[in-house]
């Protein structure tokens, strides 16, 4: 801590190159092992594999050598690059969130990666990979304290834990959600067995392959969402999760575009649901699919009461009253009519859709990017129309599915007007967390000491 306060340049932890190139190097080593023992073996080819591994490792070492960072009161500077020098100044006042990630290898060595995100950007602007865990947490606390205009030595304010997911329930929920697929496959297999016994062997083989392909999916869900904890911190909603590698990420409420509650068929009798949020701009997905938008899990599995509490917290306010589309919509949407409902108030809009799993999307109107009315041929015959409220992202929208056409046109106008008003008063909106008011984008910065 005192080391950081000195304001000089620091290097990353010496073990960083090992962690960074760890995966690639391990992969190459495994390849060498396989080719040495198996029948692919042709001595001499190891040489190239070895060279490849060395080059990767060397690259990581060089990267470590040329990377340095310093924190001088108002800015965090990160310099990196050997041939193309990249020097980055991150003004502390504009910091939006600081995330701490610990991949498996780093965690085993007691290291952590710090990701700094600035307001208004859509990706991690500064990454320090890796620091020791203690240094990462200290730096994080200092950055946040400086951001809020406090003495940098102030310890990080406490976060109020809102929910944590027990491991048993998580595993059960993942199994239940894959169970429906499993059931469908088994039914298909039985049908095949009864009707065309001749092809049973072939389809049975397919079934086994399907089952095997399911395993990694289940594993991924469990390993990323193990030990899931949601907490309310002054700078946003903090999510901690992970089995082998852990991630602590912070989602500022202001960045949330929409919340989605998903209730799959087999979860409903158990009183479970899942919450997802869409965030504009997230770390770690730098422009992979457009300007880095992402869907995050807010609650992998939990009781609807808890889910509603979390949704209220994220959106800020009470859910709007919902109403159902007219009965004639049954002809257009016979399989989903039982779930269809939608409603809005001055600040938010909510739409419920889904055939087998119920999906409730709730978004603040000030995040609306556009409002659309779509009328298909069947809908026109029934004089129905669907109104969409789009938020930033690939498929993020609240749908007023199959509304009466006469009301839909008025609804379109009203939603457009309401979202315009909501945008105007956006600076006032915000959910005051229990500890202290949320961070305004520009907070006066204390003079560097």
Partner 1 sequence: MHLGRRRRGLYRLPMPGSPAAVPKSPSPRLWRMRRAQVAVTAGVVALAAGTGAGLAAGDAAAAAAIAAAALGGLAALWFARNRVRAWSYTERDEDLIVARGVLVRRLSVVPYGRMQFVDVTAGPVERAFQLATVKLHTAAAASDARIPGLERAEAARLRDRLAELGEATAAGL
Name the residues that contact partner 1, by CB under 8 A: 120, 255, 257, 280-281, 290-291, 293, 366-377, 380, 388, 390-397, 405, 409-410, 412-413, 416-417, 419-420, 423, 426
Integer Cα distance of 35 and 225 in angstroms:
35
The string of DSSP codes covering 270-338 is: GT-EEEEEEESS-TT-TTSSTTT-EEEEEEEEE-HHHHHHHHHHHHTSPPPPPBPPPTTHHHH-TTTTT
- Minimum gap (Å) between residue 233 Cβ and partner 1: 21
Residues contacting 137, CB < 8 A, separation 6+: 100, 112, 156
Residue closer to partner 1 (CB basis): 356 or 426: 426
- Minimum gap (Å) between residue 110 Cβ and partner 1: 36
- Minimum gap (Å) between residue 211 Cβ and partner 1: 34
Residue closer to partner 1 (CB basis): 127 or 367: 367
- Minimum gap (Å) between residue 396 Cβ and partner 1: 7
Which of 261, 270, 262, 267 minimizes the C-alpha distance to 177? 267
Residue closer to partner 1 (CB basis): 171 or 382: 382
- Minimum gap (Å) between residue 55 Cβ and partner 1: 39
Q: Are 232 and 165 in contact (CB under 8 A)?
A: no
* Residue-wise burial string across 167-179, b where 16 or more C-beta atoms lie within 10 A, e elsewhere: eebbebbbebbbe
Residue closer to partner 1 (CB basis): 76 or 385: 385
Q: Which residue has the tokens 């995040």?
A: 367
- Minimum gap (Å) between residue 90 Cβ and partner 1: 19
- Minimum gap (Å) between residue 45 Cβ and partner 1: 46
Copy the structure tokens of residue 127. Answer: 């990454």
Residue closer to partner 1 (CB basis): 154 or 369: 369
Residue 309, CB half-sphere, CA atoms under 13 Å: how many? Answer: 12
Residue closer to partner 1 (CB basis): 216 or 427: 427
The length of the chain, given as a count of residues: 449
Q: Which residue has the tokens 């949330």?
A: 256
Residue closer to partner 1 (CB basis): 131 or 422: 422
Between helices 167-195 and 200-225, what is the axis angle to 10°? 170
- Minimum gap (Å) between residue 399 Cβ and partner 1: 10
Residue closer to partner 1 (CB basis): 67 or 282: 282
End-to-end Cα, the chain, rounded Å? 15
């Amino acid at each position: 801590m005192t080391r950081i306060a000195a304001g000089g340049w620091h290097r990353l932890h010496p073990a960083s190159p090992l962690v960074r190139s760890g995966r690639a190097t391990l992969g190459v080593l495994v390849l060498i092992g396989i080719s040495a023992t198996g029948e692919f073996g042709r001595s001499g080819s190891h040489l190239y594999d070895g060279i490849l591994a060395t080059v990767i490792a060397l690259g990581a070492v060089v990267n470590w050598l040329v990377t340095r960072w310093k924190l001088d009161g108002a800015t965090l500077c990160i310099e990196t690059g050997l041939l193309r020098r990249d020097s980055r100044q991150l003004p502390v006042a504009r910091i939006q969130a600081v995330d701490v990630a610990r991949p498996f290898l780093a965690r085993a060595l007691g290291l952590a990666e710090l990701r700094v995100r600035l307001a208004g950007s859509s990706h991690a602007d500064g990454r320090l990979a890796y620091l020791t865990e203690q240094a990462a947490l200290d730096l994080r606390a200092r950055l946040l304290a400086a951001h809020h205009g406090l003495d940098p030595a102030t310890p990080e304010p406490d976060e109020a834990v809102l929910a944590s997911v027990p491991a048993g329930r998580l595993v059960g929920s993942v199994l239940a959600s894959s169970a429906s697929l499993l059931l469908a496959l088994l039914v298909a297999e039985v049908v095949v067995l009864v009707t065309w016994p001749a092809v049973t062997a072939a389809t049975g083989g397919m079934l086994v392959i399907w089952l095997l392909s399911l395993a990694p999916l289940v594993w991924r869900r469990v390993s990323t969402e193990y030990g899931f904890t949601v907490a309310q911190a002054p700078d946003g909603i903090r999510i901690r999760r992970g089995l082998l590698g852990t991630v602590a990420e912070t989602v500022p409420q202001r960045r949330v575009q929409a919340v989605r509650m998903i209730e799959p068929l087999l979860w409903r009798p158990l009183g479970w649901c899942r919450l997802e949020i869409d965030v504009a701009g997230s770390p770690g997905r730098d422009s992979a699919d457009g300007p880095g938008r992402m869907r995050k899990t807010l609650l992998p599995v939990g009781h609807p009461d808890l889910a509603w509490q979390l949704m209220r917290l994220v959106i800020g306010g009470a859910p709007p009253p919902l109403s159902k589309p007219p009965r004639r919509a049954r002809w257009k949407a016979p399989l989903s009519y039982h779930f269809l409902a939608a409603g809005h108030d001055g600040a938010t809009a909510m739409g419920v859709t889904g055939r087998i799993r119920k999906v409730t999307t709730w978004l603040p109107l000030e995040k609306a990017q556009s409002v659309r009315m779509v009328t298909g041929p069947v809908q026109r015959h029934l004089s129905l129309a669907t109104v969409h409220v789009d938020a930033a992202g690939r498929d993020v929208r609240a749908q007023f599915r199959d509304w009466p056409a006469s009301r839909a046109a008025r609804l379109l106008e009203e939603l457009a007007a309401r979202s315009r008003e909501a945008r105007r008063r956006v600076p006032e909106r915000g959910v005051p967390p229990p500890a202290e008011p949320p961070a305004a984008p520009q907070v006066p910065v204390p003079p560097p000491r």
